[in-house]
Structure formats: structure tokens, C-alpha cells
């Protein structure tokens, strides 16, 4: 290719997306939803608790760690709730798992608010756009927690 046609490649555009995990924690029919407290542009939008998978961690380990940090609870990680979701302009690969509580009562340690929502009430809160496909899959799902 002639030099005048070469273009620099943005390293960010070729990087693999960072894996982020979320927990759709079930208690009976209800799912735990969490309202973001920050950053300001996301505050008040709802998500499934979770976070980034750190190097050397499995997705299940990351999810258990994040739920301890964010909610003060222990969870049992179950099956995936939906397929992979590309979010954050392609920077993050979100994977949502069903989970059940094993110990503790959820507290909003890093979120503005927590709510238990029945499937028919999932649309009563404004979800982060990247979480919407998971919300739809969870509503339609017949998968029961283990």
C-alpha cells in the first residue's frame, strides 16, 4: 500500500473488550436491581450488580468478589442469563449470570438504591442501555435458580 494511503490504527479500536460480569440475583420470582450512584452521567440508571474481571480471576470469582464489595453478600453463581452483550462503545463485553444469595442481606454500599423487582416490574426503572437485552432475556426466561 502506498505510504500516502496508510492510516494510523487507534490501539483502543483494536483492543479486545474487557470482560464485565453482572449478577441477576434471584429471590423467589424477584430479581435484585441496583441504581448507579456514579459517574454523574450514569447516576440513577439501573444495572445488575457486578464489575470487571481482574487478571487471573474466573468470571464466577469476579462476580462473587464484586457482590461482596458492592452488596456485602455471598452468592452462588448459576447459569448465564443471556448471551454476550457488547457495551461502552465496544470497550466492554458484559456477561450476566443468574445467582442466588448464600449469605447476608444486600446493602447498597456502592449504589444509590437497591430494589427487588418481579419480572413484570422490570421496566419500572430506567436501565443502563447495555443491560436492556439482559432484562428482556430474564423476563422471558424460564430458567430457575439452582
pTM of the model: 0.85
* Alpha carbon of residue 128 to chain centroid: 10
pLDDT of 45-62, one tens digit each? 999 999 999 999 999 999
Domain ranges of the chain: 23-140
Which grid cell is 20?
Answer: 464485565
pLDDT of 12-25, one tens digit each? 456 899 999 999 99
pLDDT score, position 132:
95
Task: Write down the CATH number for the domain with range 23-140.
Answer: 3.90.79.10
Closest CA to 137 of 90, 107, 94: 94
pLDDT score, position 71:
99
pLDDT at 35 over 50: yes
Q: How far is CA 129 from CA 15, 46, 91, in A?
A: 22, 9, 14
Amino acid at each position: 500500500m502506498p505510504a500516502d494511503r496508510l492510516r494510523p490504527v487507534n490501539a483502543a479500536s483494536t483492543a479486545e473488550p474487557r470482560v464485565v460480569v453482572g449478577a441477576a440475583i434471584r429471590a423467589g420470582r424477584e430479581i435484585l436491581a441496583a441504581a448507579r450512584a456514579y459517574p454523574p452521567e450514569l447516576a440513577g440508571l439501573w444495572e445488575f450488580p457486578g464489575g470487571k474481571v481482574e487478571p487471573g480471576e474466573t468470571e464466577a470469582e469476579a462476580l462473587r468478589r464484586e457482590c461482596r464489595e458492592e452488596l456485602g453478600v455471598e452468592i452462588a453463581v448459576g447459569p448465564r442469563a443471556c448471551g454476550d452483550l457488547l457495551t461502552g462503545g465496544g470497550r466492554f463485553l458484559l456477561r450476566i449470570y443468574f445467582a442466588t444469595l448464600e449469605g447476608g442481606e444486600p446493602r447498597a454500599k456502592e449504589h444509590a438504591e437497591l430494589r427487588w423487582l418481579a419480572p413484570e416490574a422490570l421496566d419500572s426503572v430506567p436501565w443502563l442501555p447495555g443491560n436492556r437485552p439482559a432484562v428482556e432475556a430474564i423476563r422471558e426466561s424460564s430458567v430457575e435458580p439452582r
